[in-house]
Amino acid sequence: MTDYTRMTLTRADRILTIRLANGAVNAVDQAMHDELARVFIEAQDDPESDLVILTGEGRAFCAGGDTAWFQETIEDPRRFRAIAPHAKRIVSSLLDIEKPVICRLNGPAAGLGATIALLCDVIVAADTAIIGDPHVKVGLVAGDGGAVIWPQLIGFARAKEFLMTGDLIAAPKAAEMGLINHCVPAAELDAKVAEVCAKILGNPKWAVRWTKTVANIPLKKLAAELSDAAIAYELLSNMTADRKEAVAAFVEKRKALFEGE
């Protein structure tokens, strides 16, 4: 597990820490997307760990899709179409891994970043973090798993509001509404993550793993039912004029002028 370029992997005390590391905000480009599609499969098979911590390098957890990559997939839709199998695998592998996965939410998590955070088993956030799924703001359907996990955590009415507005949520509010498990002062983040990990690792390994496995069965079934349609709609939205305008406006730091096409 050493051939990663967009994340670093370290082990200590039977814990495997996966740290997303790609620029200032750990944005998802083609390389990171490819690595996310396999890292949880390899983490499951890692004989030297019993628990996984997923976090981000620096000030961000993962700010979602990289703008340059967005532009490449708009100009050549075949590149977007080609990521569909990996998009499904990111979600399914996070739900399939038997080892507990703890999200150390150290900073902003948006889009796919929010999805992989919320698919973790326990989410511990710094009070300075924010989380949200702004796919719609860049002209895309929330097809990478957001439509699967958000309603299960906070109910359909609130989930649809946040998915359709793309609004970001401060960590204290996210904890209050049950979107994440814990929100602590940033200086106490590592201590809280260590506390949660110690409690889980203090229990019999197979009891923990298989309890998680059973709890995830409904989520795995739901993901299987929704993923093909969600990704297909996301692919279609990538080819709209408003998608192109949304990305151009973001790059040019101006208000987007949408025409409904």
Angle between helix axes 205-237 and 84-96 (nearest 10 degrees) is 160
Question: What is the per-residue pLDDT for 2?
Answer: 80
**Dist. CA 86–CA 216, nearest whole Å:** 20
Judge whether 259 lies within some domain: no
Which CATH number does the domain housing residue 196 bear? 3.90.226.10
**Dist. CA 123–CA 96, nearest whole Å:** 17
Q: Count up the domains in the chain and report the number.
A: 1
Residue 1 has pLDDT above 90, yes or no: no
Judge whether 218 lies within some domain: no
Domain that holds residue 157: 7-201
**Average pLDDT value for residue range 132-154:** 97
Asked if residues 49 and 1 have their Cβ atoms less than 8 Å apart, the reply is no
Judge whether 43 lies within some domain: yes
pLDDT tens, residue by residue, 102-140: 999 999 999 999 999 999 999 999 999 999 999 999 999
Which CB contacts under 8 angstroms, 24+ apart, belong to 5-12?
Answer: 5/31, 5/35, 6/31, 6/32, 6/35, 7/32, 7/35, 7/39, 8/57, 9/39, 11/46, 11/48, 11/49
Give the predicted TM-score (pTM) of the model: 0.97
Judge whether 106 lies within some domain: yes
Judge whether 231 lies within some domain: no
Judge whether 83 lies within some domain: yes
Judge whether 213 lies within some domain: no
Judge whether 169 lies within some domain: yes
Question: What is the per-residue pLDDT for 28?
Answer: 98
Residue 172 has pLDDT above 90, yes or no: yes
